[in-house]
Each structure stands twice: as C-alpha cells, then as structure tokens.
Structure 1
Amino acid sequence: MELLQQHCYSRSDLLHILLILPSILLLTSVVANDPESLQDVCVADLNSTVKVNGHVCKAADMTTADDFSSAFLSTPGNITSKLGSLVTLANVARFPGLNTFGISMARIDYAEGGLNPPHVHPRGTELLYLEKGSLYVGFVATDNKLYAKRIKQGELFVFPKGLVHFQLNVGEGPAVGFAALTSQNPGTSQVAKALFASMPAIETAVLSKAFQIGDGDVKHLMDVIAKS
C-alpha cells in the first residue's frame, strides 16, 4: 500500500500489475526445490503403501516431539570404503520429521587422504560446513569451468544443485564435515558408479568411445569401481 500511495499509477498501470502478478507467483513456486507444505507438520508415514511425490502424513494424534528430533548424525561413521569417506545422510527416509520441509542434512567423515568422489545431487543445493580438518573442494559448472579451493575448519562451501562436485581430505588426520541440502530427498549419483557400475551395465562401446579408451580398460574400470 505504501508503494501505491507514493506513486500515482494510472488505471492501465494497475491492471498491468494485476495481470503479471500471477506469473510472478507461479515462477516463485517453480523455482522452489520441494513443494511447499500445506500444513504445520506432516511426519512421513514410511509404512504407508500409498505412493505420492514425497510421503503421506502420519496421523496427527500419533505425532510427538520425538518425530522432530534425531541423533542420527552424532556418531562418527565407520569408514570401510576404498575411497576413504563415508556419507551419513539424514533425509526424510531416515528422519521422517523432515517431510514437506524441503531440507535434509548429512555428515561426511573422511579418513586421511579420503575422497568423497565426484557426484551430483539432482534435487538439492548443498552447503558444506567443515567442522574439522582441511579439504580440497570444488564443482564443475555447465560451461566446464572448475570452481575449487582448499577450505579449513570453520569454513563453508556451496555446491549448486545438479552440478558435479567433490571433496578431498588434504589435511593431516581425519576430517569431518556437515552439509545442509535444500531438499528432503536430494538424491546422490556418483559419476563413476553411474557410468561404470550401472545395473544393467552400459554397453562397452558407449564408454569406450566416450572416454577414448579400449574395451579392456572399460571392463577393468567396471570391475574396480563396482568394488569401491
């Protein structure tokens, strides 16, 4: 109202504003990662057989404060992979209280020299906070430009939604990071596994030509990456 009082708008100007306002609201809705919640809370009923874009709500009279609390990320991960890292993801499937809120969180534990390999989150942007250690982190934009740097304890780094990114422990000893993601179920696709360990496997000819390597190299990578 203050804006309208400060300016003298003609009838045609006001009509134009009213006409474009729905488009602006629609655009705002489309940009959001997850649908907006239509109720205060909607704890996911993980036992429901009903399939929707998300999870149906647990009955309100069965919802308690415990549904909105979790110690899931409090315990250090037991790193057993050859890559030397472990991601513990608190998404809606593991923390039902997140349902409809469009957020999730992850703990990443890195052994010395450990790598969280190149991967993408198709449904969420990631904001990483490094609690302990030193990491070399980065992402690759769609114009193939690399944005990478070393970060140390207490620093943040953001990885845009859908772009390939990675973290490598370059400090002495283990490292620990915590990541906030803009989706209750951001999804993760490791680049190497998606290409060389898919089920069923991608035809060797595709990978051989794409990476300009021989069939034997493709089969070797399939074997190694499937075990990583």
Structure 2
Amino acid sequence: MPPVIFLLLSLLLLLLLSSSHAADFCVADLTGRLTPSGYECKKEAAVTTNDFVFTGLGKAGNTSNLIKAAVTPAFVAQFPGVNGLGISAARLDIAPGGVVPLHTHPAATEFLVVTQGTICAGFISTANNVYYKSLNTGDSMLFPQGLLHFQVNGGGTTAVAIVSFSSPSPGLQITSFALFANNLPSALVEKVTFLDDAEVKKLKKLLGGTG
C-alpha cells in the first residue's frame, strides 16, 4: 500500500475512533472551576437523572417588588445539565402594571413564548430601530443577542411566559440599574444621560445607588 494512502487511512481511523468516544454531555460541577467555555464536568459516575431535570418553571415567581415582575432561571447555576449544550430557559411572571425594564443578555439570543395573558415586548437594534408588538397567549418573539429589549404586562391579569436562551449562562444587565444602582458619581451620570441633578438623585435613591 502506498505510504500516502496508508497515512490517510490511519488519520481517518483516528478520527472515527475519537468521534465514537465524544462526550454526550458535560454536567456542570458547580463546585469546580468556571471557565469561559463553562464549568468543569462532573464525573460521569456521579451524574444522575436529576441533573437533566428542572422542576422550577411550574411555580409562579414572587412579583411583590419594584418592577412587579419575577424571573425564575433555569441557567447552568440552577440546572447543571445544560452546561456546554448552548441552551437554557426561564419563567417570566409579570403582574398587572409590571415591567421587565430595558436590559440585555450579552451571551445569548432570547426566544419568548407567552403562556398566559398579554405581554408588550420589543427590542432596539444598533441602528436604533424599534421592533415591538403586543403578544397574546401562544405568541412568541425573538430578541437577538446583546440588544436592549423589554417586556411589559399588556393587560389586567398576571402574564406568564417561558423563555429560552442560546447559552447556558446568558448574562444579564438591566440598563436602569446599571446607571442608577451603583456608586458612579451623580455628576457623571448626568453627563452621560442628559438628566438633571434632581432626577438622577431621585433615581439613585429609588434603586439604591450612591454618589
């Protein structure tokens, strides 16, 4: 057999063998090291069925708070089985008058399905174009990765949605909290938001910020 053909066959065999032993999953070892690609894997002998089951999405979240909304996450920290699989989920409860303020998920696209009530939802593109719609039970909407988006209760009853993400750890940054719930000096906040001193101080007090 010519050496080149032998080499190619050997490489093909190695690829086949390596693919046949590819990991089926990587359940997160939450006590281990977190890397940019996810948590270290739990030893397979320690993996159980419960690592692939999450029961929290059937229970309503507590909406007795400032925004009258609650998010119940099934991210890798709560659901180790999603580690490395590029997916996670959450339940969203929004009481009448409630809102999930403008926020972003830096690491994931979001897919929302309304399961109860009416939700007005939308996002803003980097070209500052706004896409929003009133969604009823059974309707769904996409929010592209990293873009500012929001959800508002659009009716007189509690609204519920199930959302999925294209990452086990989508990340979250709420714009109003990022601006007013920290110790960034008010004078700087006023410069970057064009708000006056009284309004900035009012929002800082409301959201727990200082400075």
For the structure 1 residues 98 and 170, does the alpha-carbon distance in structure 2 shift closer, same or farther, using more than 3 Å as the test?
same
Q: State the match for 1:168 in structure 2.
A: 152
Pick one of 177, 184, 203 that aligns with 2:185.
Answer: 203
Structure 1 counterpart of 2:93, which letter? D
Once the two structures are overlaid, the 10-residue window that deviates more, 56-65 or 205-214, is: 205-214
* CA distance in 2 between partners of 1:138 and 1:226 (Å): 27
**Which digits, 9 at most, give the CA deviation of each residue in 1:87-145, with x for residues without a partner?**
11110000001110011101000101211111000000000000000111100001111
Q: How far off its partner does 1:207 sit?
A: 1.4
Match of 1:185 in 2: 169
Find 2:201's aligned residue among 203, 215, 219: 219
Tell me how far apart the structure 2 counterparts of residues 51 and 180 of structure 1 sit (CA, whole Å): 22
Q: Structure 1 runs of 4+ off > 3 angstroms? A: none
Q: What TM-score, normalized by structure 1, do the two folds share?
A: 0.79
> Unaligned stretches of 5+ in structure 2?
1-21
Aligned AA (1:99): N
Give the structure 2 partner of residue 70 of structure 1: 54
1:30-69 alignment runs, 5 A limit: 39-48=23-32, 50-53=33-36, 54-69=38-53
After TM superposition, the score normalised by the length of structure 2 is 0.85
In 2: Cα distance, 1:158 partner to 1:221 partner: 30
RMSD across aligned C-alpha pairs, in angstroms?
1.3
Q: Quote the Cα distance in structure 1 between the aligned partners of 2:62 and 2:187.
A: 37
For 1:51 and 1:85, locate their aligned partners in 2 and report how far apart those are by CA, in whole Å. 29
2:119 is matched with which residue? 135
Q: Measure how far apart 1:51 and its partner are.
A: 3.8
Report the secondary structure of 2:171's partner residue: coil
**Structure 1: which 5+ runs fail to align?**
1-37
Q: Deviations over 1:141-196 (max 9, x none)?
A: 01111111111110001101100000111112111000010000001100000111
Q: Could you tell me how far apart the structure 1 residues matched to 2:194 and 2:161 are?
A: 36
User: Which whole-Å CA distance do the structure 1 matches of 2:82 and 2:34 have between them?
Assistant: 17
Q: Determine which of 70, 76, 94 is the counterpart of 2:78.
A: 94
Q: Report the Cα offset of residue 68 of structure 1.
A: 0.5
Q: Percent identity?
A: 39
CA positional deviation for 1:219: 1.5
Deviation at 1:209, TM superposition (A): 1.7
DSSP 3-state at the match of 1:89: strand
Q: Which structure 2 residues correspond to residues 99-114 of structure 1 after superposition, within 5 A?
A: 99-114=83-98
| SS state at 2:35 partner | coil
Task: Please give the alpha-carbon distance, in whole angstroms, between the structure 2 residues aligned to 1:174 and 1:182.
Answer: 26
